[in-house]
Amino acid sequence: MRTDRLPRLPAWLWLVLANTALWPLWLWSARRLSDGSDDPYGIVALGALLLVLWRERTGFVEAPRLGWLLAAVALAVSAVLGQGFWPPLPRAALGVLAVLCVAMALRGAGQPRLAWFGLGLLALPLLSSLQFYLGYPLRVLTAEASVWLLRGGGLEAARQGSALEVGGQLVMVDAPCSGIQMAWVAYFTAFASAAWLRLPDRLLLRRIPLLGALVLVGNILRNSLLVLQETGRLGWPGWMHEGIGLLVFVAVCALVLRFVGAGVWQPAPLPVRALAVATAGIWQLSLALVFVGLGGWPLVQGQAEPAQPLVRSHEWPQHFAGRELRPLALSPVELQFAAQFPGAIGRFSDGERVISLRHVTRPTRKLHPAADCFRGLGYRIAAQALERRVAASGVQRCFVAEGPGGPLRVCEYIEDAAGASFSDHSAWYWSALAGESRGPWLAVTTAQPLP
């Protein structure tokens, strides 16, 4: 049989094959975006990417380029076979790159590359992980810059970790003040507008680094205004807290749009369908079979290696804050989480509160903030604030969780072997990673019903 007579697959089928091969990663991403533990911004980026690809479909070449297809297969193989070696998020990123390499294999003249890859990566559930790893360093940077601005305005201001003390008032620089959400919106605006305008990759590449500086300046200004608002020095109504953030967001996005489209350049016209160098039919059939095999591999693995429950024991304290602890059974959600948690989990009652204790011996991303867990259970988080711990040094993060069963007042902190405590999980992670805080560590979360 002559291989050049094998039928060549249509362009759209390659995208279907690549996405089908990576279905477990898309299922994980969908669950992560919809379970409340992460902000579902990625849905917007995915919608923008699909819209752009649909608009550009008439310019795709009829025969895919072999080099890009080989790169897509290599990335897809790494994403699928990396299960058990890499966390889901890096594997999902490889999967996105694989699908976009297929799009590059079909890309016509004048169609952008960098903007497509940017939108694809922003479609992933990134925000909670970015907050965990980068939230504290960015909040420290923002708080330090705000201190200098406030001092320049004649106020007494000092930074305590990522918090600010202004005139004796302790103000929390919380997760939104890290600027990660603003950075996501700014880069989404840049990539989406560049993809729609078909901005040349070389121009977008030059402008991307300056977007970070724009976001940083905007975030410092927003944080300084919010501190003045929270300490009562502006005298504005309470709703201006959200209003300040919204106004700065809009201003930053408007500047990004102006910046991305600046300069003299000619947008590429909508390309017409062209014929690239044809990939041999045998190559196309072989690579298509690889994608099909990757799609079935997780099903085979799921049958061969059933999940084994992970049980860990730990000697828990019998008293907490002067009150006797009574052990409680872990909930089904906690049991499922404990199977993957690199430590021990205990649940207790002191007669008034439910107390959850988590014991770990190394820095880990799986020591989630309590707010993420409550959001995942359908609770709405409000009234977040820092409070000084009673009869102990340090502060704790408290909030109100409103949901099934009525509102709860939740407080949490992490304590190390020397007795130092952390109210911020990102701060604890970096301190533990740098060796400044020694383990083992005990994460304490208390939940008390509100009347």
Dist CA 402 CA 23 (whole Å): 34
Count other C-beta atoms under 10 Å from residue 390's C-beta: 7
Question: Is 148 part of any domain?
Answer: no
Strands 343-349 and 326-328: antiparallel
Judgement on whether residues 70 and 128 belong to the same structural domain of the protein: yes
Domain boundary among 238, 271, 300: 300
DSSP structure class, residue 179: S
Structure tokens at 404: 């099934």
160 DSSP β-pair partners: 163
Judgement on whether residues 288 and 257 belong to the same structural domain of the protein: yes
Judgement on whether residues 276 and 347 belong to the same structural domain of the protein: no
Count other C-beta atoms under 10 Å from residue 26's C-beta: 16
Judgement on whether residues 288 and 416 belong to the same structural domain of the protein: no
Residues 425 and 433 sit within 8 Å (Cβ to Cβ): no
Quickly tell me which residue has 């752009």 as its tokens.
52
Question: Is 261 part of any domain?
Answer: yes
Domain boundary among 266, 300, 334: 300
Judgement on whether residues 98 and 57 belong to the same structural domain of the protein: yes
Question: Is 429 part of any domain?
Answer: yes
Judgement on whether residues 258 and 405 belong to the same structural domain of the protein: no
pLDDT value for 328: 86
pLDDT value for 298: 64
Question: Is 431 part of any domain?
Answer: yes
Reduced to 3 states (helix: H, G, I; strand: E, B; else coil), residue 340 is coil
Dist CA 43 CA 362 (whole Å): 33
Question: Is 91 part of any domain?
Answer: yes
pLDDT value for 163: 74
> Length of the chain in residues, anyone?
451
**pLDDT (tens place) for every residue of the chain, 451 residues total:** 444 454 566 777 878 888 888 888 888 888 877 766 667 888 999 999 999 988 888 878 777 788 888 888 899 888 888 877 888 888 999 999 999 998 888 887 778 889 999 999 999 988 888 888 888 888 888 888 888 888 887 787 777 777 777 777 777 676 666 778 888 989 999 999 999 888 888 888 888 888 888 888 888 888 888 777 777 667 666 666 677 778 888 888 888 888 887 765 555 555 555 445 455 556 666 666 766 666 666 666 654 444 444 445 678 888 888 888 898 887 766 676 666 777 888 889 888 888 888 998 888 888 888 887 787 777 888 888 778 777 667 778 888 988 877 888 999 989 888 888 888 888 888 888 888 888 899 999 988 888 7
Judgement on whether residues 334 and 260 belong to the same structural domain of the protein: no
Structure tokens at 125: 């559930």
CA-to-CA dists, residue 93 to 29, 126, 225, 368, angstroms: 10, 10, 36, 21
Question: Is 308 part of any domain?
Answer: no
Residues 380 and 370 sit within 8 Å (Cβ to Cβ): no
pLDDT value for 280: 52
Beta strands, E only, 292-440? 319-320, 323-324, 326-328, 343-349, 354-360, 380-388, 395-402, 408-415, 421-422
- Give the residue from 69, 56, 73, 187 showing the smallest Cα distance to 113: 56
Domain boundary among 273, 300, 327: 300
Which domain, by its residues, includes 287? 3-133+177-300
**Burial call 45-78: b when 16+ CB within 10 Å, e when fewer:** bbebbeebbeebeebbbebbbbebbebbbebbbb
Question: Is 225 part of any domain?
Answer: yes
pLDDT value for 178: 72
Number of domains in the chain: 2
Judgement on whether residues 374 and 281 belong to the same structural domain of the protein: no
pLDDT value for 302: 52
- Give the residue from 101, 78, 90 showing the smallest Cα distance to 124: 90
Question: Is 208 part of any domain?
Answer: yes
Judgement on whether residues 234 and 110 belong to the same structural domain of the protein: yes
Judgement on whether residues 270 and 332 belong to the same structural domain of the protein: no
Judgement on whether residues 45 and 72 belong to the same structural domain of the protein: yes
Judgement on whether residues 186 and 81 belong to the same structural domain of the protein: yes
